[in-house]
Amino acid sequence: MTEAIVADLKARAKLWRRGNRYEDFSAGQGFIHHWGRTLGEVDNTIFTTLTMNYNPQYLNNEIAKANGFDGGIPINPLLVFNTVLGMSVEDLSEGGGPFLGVDKCIYGVPVYPGDTLTATSAVISARESSKRPKFGIVTWATRGVNQLGNEVIKFERSNLISKRKSEEQF
């Protein structure tokens, strides 16, 4: 009985592609990413510990204050980067294709527990790949801000993005 149900579900299932494809991007196009993320002290402690980043500035209030962080322990900058990058994935790279790297990463004001981050991106360039005809190369500038509108990070990143035409074979 269970095998028949599973077989029926598989037969009726339809492939649902998520994300944008290369043809969906053009230079200058802007994206406002989803609702944002509030980072907490626990997020910071777990992330910093699990990534084995034992810089005491991200784990010890007194050291953070001694280093000029009057707001207490700042959020680990790599967590800030990962959070802002993660917010952009649904709109930019969820359609698939290898990540090619990050350039020009600049951190702005420190992020503290309780800050809510939001992100926006703009397409810098979109060009066809000369080596992989089923993909294009798209580069975006992404900017993360806190709840006050202060910039916390900005960076550029590139991905190979699959072309819609290449999916017709699947």
Residue 120, domain member (yes or no): yes
Number of structural domains the chain divides into: 1
Euclidean distance between the first and the last CA atom of the chain, given in angstroms as a whole number: 30
- 12 within some domain: no
117, part of any domain: yes
Q: Is the pLDDT of residue 170 over 80?
A: no
Identify the DSSP state of 110.
-
Question: Is position 124 within any domain?
Answer: yes
Q: Look at 6-15, 28-37, 128-137 and tell me which has the smallest mean pLDDT.
A: 6-15
User: Per-residue pLDDT tens for 40-58?
Assistant: 999 999 999 999 998 999 9
Q: Considering the chain, what is the average pLDDT of its residues? A: 92
At residue 71, the pLDDT reads 85
What single-letter amino acid sits at 81? Answer: F
- Give kind and range of the element (H or E) at residue 86: helix 77-92
Considering the domain boundaries, does residue 36 fall inside one? yes
List all residues 6 or more positions away from 138 whose beta carbon is below 8 Å from its beta carbon. Answer: 22, 25, 92, 123, 125, 126, 158, 159, 161
pLDDT of residue 166: 58
pLDDT per residue as tens digits for the range 86-132: 999 999 998 878 899 999 999 999 999 999 999 999 999 999 999 98
Is pLDDT of 15 > 80? no
Q: What is the pLDDT of residues 125-169, one digit of tens each?
A: 999 999 988 999 999 999 999 999 999 999 999 999 999 875 554
Domain that holds residue 34: 19-169
Q: Is 9 inside any structural domain? A: no
Cβ atoms of residues 135 and 97 within 8 Å: yes
pLDDT at 1: 64
Q: Which two tokens stand for residue 104?
A: 């020009």
Instruction: Report the CATH number at residue 57.
Output: 3.10.129.10
